[in-house]
Amino acid sequence: MSDMSKRLITITRELSKGVDALSFSDPVAFVYNPLVYAWKSHKSYLEKYGTGKRRVLLIGMNPGPWGMAQTGVPFGEVANVRDFLGIEELVQKPNPEHPKREVRGFQCPRSEVSGRRVWEWAKARYGSADSFFNEFFVLNYCPLCFMEEGGKNRTPDKLKPEERDAVFEVCDVALRKFVDVLAPSKIVGIGGFAKKRAMATLGRDDIETILHPSPASPIANRGWAPQIEKQFEEMGALLPQTS
């Protein structure tokens, strides 16, 4: 294991412990922390790909119920985490578990669209996960997945103000440490939320953004990959495409 991976693992453990100490109230009824029950997968991700400084750090918002909440890997659509990233570890159960949002780990039959779009773009452009991670690293700002009683996903920005601020305080500390270790030449928020948090946390105005791949975005559904290719090109973040 590289020294950088060890440092990333230490920061991640601190982040996990910090968010686990927080409490939430209605309308949040269930909170999943995949850094606990899917830790083996996330640790494997950090060991395998958190090995050197990257030109570009990509920051997502928080886990989706069918992505990182299942596999423990950012934008963790099951098939791509297993087949493209080469990670498949035993995933435990969150406690308590929402009856409508069962965690089945790598046996989850659903495909998360956001994660599929991210990793299929990476594969199409760079060919292999190693080639992609030579240039990029992907993190989520917040490691928690929030759900309402009926199963609806609730994003961190939609939490009660005092609960949201408590989450931000813990996640801000971790993000600053991640950036210190990774020392990226460019930081890119995947969506507007991640860009705003990175700008506020790091006190920098040079944070870029790309379109979020969520299927809830009509714009993303009109060809996400070509649009982010253009955005990356405009910020000078792409290397020539692999043949």
163: pLDDT strictly greater than 50? yes
pTM above 0.75, yes or no: yes
What letter does residue 64 receive in the DSSP assignment? -
93: pLDDT strictly greater than 80? yes
Residue 241's pLDDT band (cuts 50, 70, 90): low
For residue 81, count other CB atoms closer than 10 A to its CB.
Answer: 29
Sheet holding 145-148, edge to edge: 28-32, 145-148, 153-154
237: pLDDT strictly greater than 90? no
Inter-helix orientation angle 113-126/224-234, to 10°: 60
243: pLDDT strictly greater than 50? no
pLDDT tens-digit readout, 16-52: 999 999 999 999 999 999 999 999 999 999 999 999 7
Q: Rounded to an integer, what is the distance from CA 9 to the centroid of its chain?
A: 15
Q: Domain ranges in the chain? A: 3-234
Indicate the residue type of 14.
E
The alpha-carbon radius of gyration of the chain (Å, integer) is: 17
Q: What's the chain's average pLDDT?
A: 95
Residue spans of beta strands (DSSP E) within the chain: 28-32, 56-60, 136-140, 145-148, 153-154, 186-190, 208-210
Question: What CATH class has 3-234?
Answer: alpha beta
Q: What is the pLDDT of residue 53?
A: 74
